[in-house]
């Protein structure tokens, strides 16, 4: 796959790499990371980067955010 001169920053034809998901991909992340965070399982033919659709990206972000928050529990933020 060559990058060519296209200016699109996201792959146009890529599909989400989560098993049983057929949504178009929004973003890609290192496969290892996705595997650790999303436990749905990835398709068999995933390369070094896993593509995520909007929904799974949202989920991925939510979970990474949680991780980060847990990481710095030093300052508890009061929330209504």
Interface residue list for Zn ion (CB under 5 A): 16, 18, 21, 23, 53, 56
Nearest distance in Å: CB 41, Zn ion:
12
CA-CA distances (angstroms) from residue 4 to 7, 8, 21, 48? Answer: 9, 10, 28, 20
Residue whose CB is less far from Zn ion, 39 or 70: 39
Residue whose CB is less far from Zn ion, 54 or 65: 54
Nearest distance in Å: CB 5, Zn ion:
29
Burial class from Cβ neighbours inside 10 Å (0-12, 13-18, 19+) for residue 38 reads buried
């Amino acid at each position: 796959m060559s990058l060519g001169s296209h200016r699109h920053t996201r792959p146009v034809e890529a599909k989400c790499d989560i098993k049983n998901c057929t949504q178009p991909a929004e973003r890609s992340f290192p496969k290892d990371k996705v595997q650790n965070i999303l436990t749905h399982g990835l398709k068999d033919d995933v390369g070094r980067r896993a593509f995520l659709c909007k929904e799974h990206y949202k989920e991925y972000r939510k979970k990474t955010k949680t991780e980060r928050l847990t990481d710095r529990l030093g300052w508890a933020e009061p929330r209504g």
